[in-house]
Structure 1
Amino acid sequence: MCRFVCFLCETVLETGDKNLPSTLTTVFLKFVQQKMMPMQTDVTALQNQESLATLARLAWHLGEKHQSALKSDLLPSKEVKEFALKHGFFLPFAFPNHSDTGEEEFGNTFSDFVIQNFLGALHLILAEEIKDKSLTKYLSFPSKKKKPYNWLDLVPRFLAGLLFLQDDPCYCCLSNKDVKQSTKKQKTLLKYIKRLQINELCPERLLELFHCIYETQSSYLFQHVALRLKPDLSFLGVVLTPPDVHVLHSVLKRSRKEFSLDLRNSSIDIQGLKDLIGLTNVASFRASLSDTLRLWKSLEQTKDYELLKASTEKFVLDPFKAKTMKDISDLSDLVEIQDKMINCVQDACGCSSYEIPAIKNLRKLEFALGPVCGLQGFLKLVEILAAFPSLQHLDLDALSENGIGDEGAKSLSEVFPTLKSLETLNLSQNKITDVGAEKLATALPSLLSLKTLSLYNNSICDFGAENLAKVLPAMASLRVLEVQYNKITGVGAQQLTDSLRKCPHIKNLVMWNPTIPYGVLEHLQQLDSRISV
Structure 2
Amino acid sequence: PILLSSSPPGSLSDTASKATSPSCVSLRSPSHGEKTSLYIFLYIYIYINKSGLVTFIFLSERVKDYIQAAKFHMYQQSLEMEEGLSITFHYVDQHVSQREIYRSGKNTSKCSDKEFAITGRTQRQKNLLHSNVGKSVRCILLLGNAGMGKTTLIKKLCLDWSRNSLPQFDFVFLLDGKGLTLTEPIYSLQTLLFDLSSVAPCVDPNEVFAQVLADPKRVLLIFDGFNELRDYESLLQTQEKDCFTLLQKDSKTQTFTVRQLYSAIFQRLLLPGCTLLLSSRPRGAASQLLRRVDTLLEVCGFTSDSIESYIFHYFTDPALRASALDCLKSSSYLYHLCWNPGLCRLACMVLEQSRNSENLPRTLTELCHQVVSLKIENKDLLLQLSALAWEGVKSNSSTIPRDRSLRVNPFSCLLSLLILYSSKVFNLVYFLRIVSDRSFLQALPFQMGTKWRRRPKREELELTQRIVVGLLFHKKKKLQLLHSHTETVFRNTLISRQGLVAKHLAGLSYSDLGSAQVLELCHYVYEASVSQESKNLPESLRFNGVPLSPPDVFTIKNALLTGAAEGRSFCLDFENTGIQISGLRALVSLNNINSFRACIADVINLWEQLEQSGEEELLQGAVSKFHIQPLKATQVCHIEHLEKLVNIHTNKSSRLSDSILTDGVPAVKDLHKLEFDKQKHKIFIFLDLLDMFDYNLLLFSLEESKIEDQGAEKLASILHSLTSLEVLNLSQNCIGDKGVKKLAHALKDLPKLHCLSLYSNDISDEGAESLAAVLPHMPSLTHLEMWNQCIPYRVLERLQRQDSRILSL
Which TM class, normalised by the smaller chain length?
A: 0.7 to 0.9
Against the structure 1 CA distance between its residues 450 and 11, is the aligned structure 2 distance closer, same or farther, given a 3 Å change threshold?
same
Q: Residue deviations 1:75-114, cap 9 Å, x none?
A: 5xxxxx3xx434x2x459xxxxxxxxxxxxxxx8775421
Q: Residue deviations 1:235-269, cap 9 Å, x none?
A: 22222222222212211221133322222222222
User: Could you tell me which amino acid in structure 1 is paired with residue 409 of structure 2?
Assistant: L
- 1:514 corresponds in structure 2 to 793
Against the structure 1 CA distance between its residues 251 and 486, is the aligned structure 2 distance closer, same or farther, given a 3 Å change threshold?
same
> Are the aligned partners of 1:429 and 1:456 in contact in 2 as well (CA < 8 Å)?
yes
User: Is 2:69 the counterpart of 1:69?
Assistant: no
Where do residues 300-449 of structure 1 align in structure 2 (5 Å cutoff)? 300-338=611-649, 339=651, 344-347=656-659, 353-369=662-678, 374=680, 376-386=681-691, 387-398=693-704, 402-449=705-752
Against the structure 1 CA distance between its residues 243 and 431, is the aligned structure 2 distance closer, same or farther, given a 3 Å change threshold?
same
SS in 1 for 2:441: helix
Q: Residue deviations 1:137-164, cap 9 Å, x none?
A: 2223222355452544322222222211
Against the structure 1 CA distance between its residues 232 and 50, is the aligned structure 2 distance closer, same or farther, given a 3 Å change threshold?
same
> Are the aligned partners of 1:289 and 1:330 in contact in 2 as well (CA < 8 Å)?
yes
Shift of 1:531: 6.1
Find 2:409's aligned residue among 85, 88, 97.
Answer: 85
| Gap regions ≥5 residues in structure 2 | 1-342
Shift of 1:67: 5.8
- 2:386 corresponds in structure 1 to 56
User: Could you tell me which amino acid in structure 2 is paired with residue 394 of structure 1?
Assistant: F
User: Could you tell me which amino acid in structure 2 is paired with residue 24 of structure 1?
Assistant: L
> Are the aligned partners of 1:389 and 1:420 in contact in 2 as well (CA < 8 Å)?
no
- 1:270 corresponds in structure 2 to 581
Against the structure 1 CA distance between its residues 451 and 312, is the aligned structure 2 distance closer, same or farther, given a 3 Å change threshold?
same
Shift of 1:23: 0.3
Find 1:20's aligned residue among 340, 357, 360.
Answer: 360
Against the structure 1 CA distance between its residues 11 and 420, is the aligned structure 2 distance closer, same or farther, given a 3 Å change threshold?
same
> Are the aligned partners of 1:122 and 1:162 in contact in 2 as well (CA < 8 Å)?
no
User: Is 2:557 the counterpart of 1:249?
Assistant: yes
The CA distance in 2 between the partners of 1:134 and 1:466, in whole Å, is 69
- 2:19 corresponds in structure 1 to none
Against the structure 1 CA distance between its residues 295 and 340, is the aligned structure 2 distance closer, same or farther, given a 3 Å change threshold?
farther
Find 1:134's aligned residue among 439, 448, 468.
Answer: 439
User: Could you tell me which amino acid in structure 1 is paired with residue 500 of structure 2?
Assistant: T
Shift of 1:432: 2.5
Shift of 1:380: 0.9
- 1:123 corresponds in structure 2 to 430
- 2:756 corresponds in structure 1 to 453
User: Could you tell me which amino acid in structure 1 is paired with residue 700 of structure 2?
Assistant: L
Where do residues 42-191 of structure 1 align in structure 2 (5 Å cutoff)? 48-49=378-379, 51-65=381-395, 66=397, 68-69=399-400, 81=407, 84-86=408-410, 88=411, 90-91=412-413, 112-125=419-432, 127=433, 129-142=434-447, 143=449, 144=453, 147-149=456-458, 151-168=460-477, 170-175=478-483, 177=485, 178=487, 179-180=490-491, 181-191=493-503
Return the structure number with greater relative CO, CA threshold 8 A, min gap 6.
2
Shift of 1:22: 0.9
SS in 2 for 1:321: strand
The CA distance in 1 between the partners of 2:769 and 2:510, in whole Å, is 59
SS in 1 for 2:751: coil
The CA distance in 2 between the partners of 1:470 and 1:59, in whole Å, is 74
Larger Rg: 1
Shift of 1:176: 6.4
Q: TM-score w.r.t. structure 1 length? A: 0.74
Against the structure 1 CA distance between its residues 63 and 91, is the aligned structure 2 distance closer, same or farther, given a 3 Å change threshold?
farther
SS in 2 for 1:432: coil
Deviates more, 1:248-257 or 1:474-483: 474-483
Against the structure 1 CA distance between its residues 111 and 423, is the aligned structure 2 distance closer, same or farther, given a 3 Å change threshold?
closer
Shift of 1:468: 4.3
User: Is 2:313 the counterpart of 1:2?
Assistant: no
User: Is 2:542 the counterpart of 1:234?
Assistant: yes
SS in 1 for 2:584: helix
The CA distance in 1 between the partners of 2:402 and 2:804, in whole Å, is 84
> Are the aligned partners of 1:160 and 1:213 in contact in 2 as well (CA < 8 Å)?
no
SS in 1 for 2:443: helix
SS in 2 for 1:365: strand
- 2:371 corresponds in structure 1 to 31
SS in 2 for 1:389: coil
The CA distance in 1 between the partners of 2:757 and 2:391, in whole Å, is 63
SS in 2 for 1:153: helix
SS in 2 for 1:431: coil
Q: Number of paired residues? A: 452
SS in 2 for 1:254: helix
Shift of 1:363: 1.1
> Are the aligned partners of 2:398 and 2:419 in contact in 1 as well (CA < 8 Å)?
no
> Are the aligned partners of 1:285 and 1:314 in contact in 2 as well (CA < 8 Å)?
yes
Shift of 1:333: 0.8
> Are the aligned partners of 1:63 and 1:116 in contact in 2 as well (CA < 8 Å)?
no
- 2:514 corresponds in structure 1 to 202
Shift of 1:515: 5.4
Against the structure 1 CA distance between its residues 433 and 21, is the aligned structure 2 distance closer, same or farther, given a 3 Å change threshold?
same
Deviates more, 1:337-346 or 1:254-263: 337-346
User: Could you tell me which amino acid in structure 2 is paired with residue 159 of structure 1?
Assistant: V
The CA distance in 1 between the partners of 2:795 and 2:803, in whole Å, is 16
User: Could you tell me which amino acid in structure 2 is paired with residue 153 of structure 1?
Assistant: E
- 2:207 corresponds in structure 1 to none
- 1:293 corresponds in structure 2 to 604
Against the structure 1 CA distance between its residues 415 and 133, is the aligned structure 2 distance closer, same or farther, given a 3 Å change threshold?
same
User: Could you tell me which amino acid in structure 1 is paired with residue 667 of structure 2?
Assistant: A
Q: Which has the higher helix share?
A: 1
- 2:261 corresponds in structure 1 to none
The CA distance in 1 between the partners of 2:642 and 2:688, in whole Å, is 11
State the Cα RMSD in Å: 3.3
The CA distance in 2 between the partners of 1:137 and 1:460, in whole Å, is 58
Shift of 1:3: 0.9
> Are the aligned partners of 1:145 and 1:202 in contact in 2 as well (CA < 8 Å)?
no
SS in 2 for 1:446: coil
- 1:97 corresponds in structure 2 to none
SS in 2 for 1:69: coil
User: Could you tell me which amino acid in structure 1 is paired with residue 435 of structure 2?
Assistant: I
Where do residues 473-488 of structure 1 align in structure 2 (5 Å cutoff)? 473-475=776-778, 477-485=780-788, 487=790
Q: Residue deviations 1:306-361, cap 9 Å, x none?
A: 233222222221222223332221110111133268884554x6x8x332222111
The CA distance in 2 between the partners of 1:228 and 1:173, in whole Å, is 35
| Gap regions ≥5 residues in structure 1 | 37-44, 76-80, 93-107, 489-512
